[in-house]
Structure 1
């Protein structure tokens, strides 16, 4: 069994409903055995700042899917939830990113794991370390809770979840 961590973000429409739908879709995906969720956090947009605030969370999966099968499932869920990729870092109904997959280091044209920008983003690190406080970067061996981005302001607890 493999352990993967995904970030899920949304800033369009009923944001909480999009998160709920994305988590439900993961739970009903063949090859995903369990899904645990962090709390939901609200943050200002990064990159393109002239858009609505995001709701973000992290999920921990137990899965038999390969990293590339998991990526395909994430992209399918995004599509099913109406995501249209027109502007990089623009508004989106659902954005599912693979942060970690076991302790693997994957570099391909379509997938980079660990996620290349996760250590710069408090909106990823805070919910990640909520789920896995001692989680370490498989490349550096450093705990994610020690990253400087963890000290950034602007990540606000929006709603606690039951985790499962």
Structure 2
């Protein structure tokens, strides 16, 4: 039985479907059929513009984003596909908070839906810090079909592991 570390929280029936695709060597074909394109966001500057546009469209009252970048140091061993941070500093008599989003560099080569899902997820943390019902409702609002894309992203990560990609 193949261990599906990215899909452990999903029902056994879904995991079994993925195992069957793996056994038939059809997992790559499934992903290619569902997500045939690759996105054009290749630089940190383009990623910042992409995230800012999503924020403006869905979260106008959320705090400003100071930095968005692809990060080579984020890796899947720590289960970090993206990261949102708030850095607080005192400048003079004012407390300044900088908001940053870091996206794992492996998403430079991913489908546009996967990149959008990760950015939406990190932006949602600006409003909801915990992974609760309100958080996922906000994700679904910003990206209809969020849950399916999140599942497929986990399938994609499983496929990458099977291919021996870091």
TM-score (norm 2): 0.26
Structure with the higher helix share, 1 or 2: 2
Structure with bigger RCO (C-alpha 8 Å, 6+ apart): 1
TM-score (norm 1): 0.26
